[in-house]
Structure 1
């Protein structure tokens, strides 16, 4: 039991730090860790609750660099997609979803390299909705949310702010639906309250790291998280 608690706390702290640094990516660590210990549904639901609470801290930390107007359409589409995905939690075959996301990631990478502006505008809205839907029925949005926000004309701090807001809305939407479906495991809200100090510390550490790495460093960090998402999907095939 002690080892399990230690494992969970380490996973929570690492997830929160990655999320605060890059603006997203916490689910990459937290969802598989909690699903391994608690099972797919309760682990995924608890991860959504923890990440939703952590995103409150992130939104507060980046409150001065949240581009609400520019990111509003993306955030709304993420919320709508997350609601639909959460209601269809286990409807889609996991392998089909993973293949589709990997294909989307490759396509989006090519679009960015070639600077196809029209395709990027269309992709922003498409990726935003798809990321919410994917997050709703798999617990993680994969690379799509990052791609949707990256297509907006934002510097790194405003990009992290936009990602934090989109993550908050998506995770809160999932948490509300999964709480109503009794998927949050017993003690989940108590664990979330106990993890608040970790949220504060990891968020401040992640924000400090983000402000020091510069635009090029953030680009490397962004694509490292994106590659991690894709590697996880490939490993699950």
Structure 2
């Protein structure tokens, strides 16, 4: 969706690790999985389609196994998913993925709560901080392919969810995203709003990133036709 200099990529990489903390997802492995998801959306080869599992826990359990195979390079998919550029910083990946690093982040979160939480009810939120990355993935991949409406016929079960798509900064406009996967703006209707895209426009304006031009939406594929 955009190009970026190597130095800025490293800054984004470190920022991603710090923000995800105990639930850090190695970008290289996640990128491979995301490419497969788009190529095999809601088929048996999709690494995280909700339509082959009884509940979200089973879906994420299977996804973690696939992710680890990509991470260790012991179970890589077809070459088409790895031959193009993948973000990689092996030293940071190993450090960020290490169990001791994850535990340290967890202890820091807990210490922060002890220092600033108004009462102990707030500690109920700690698991969300511990597992922020997988939780976000579970919500987007389960809900984004089961609940909501479709603007376009993509040949899969991808859905848009308003207002949740807005609250998740565009991530739950999955039908739009699968329709135009190279378009940085996941919002396509007047009532949809992608905050992430607005941030990206700001980064493009100050020349931190360079957004790639996209094909006009009317020339890509036919919109969804609802048969009466």
Q: Rg bigger for which structure? A: 2
TM-score between both structures, scaled by the size of structure 1 = 0.33
TM-score between both structures, scaled by the size of structure 2 = 0.33
RCO greater where, 1 or 2, for CA within 8 Å and sep 6 or more? 1
Higher helix share: 1
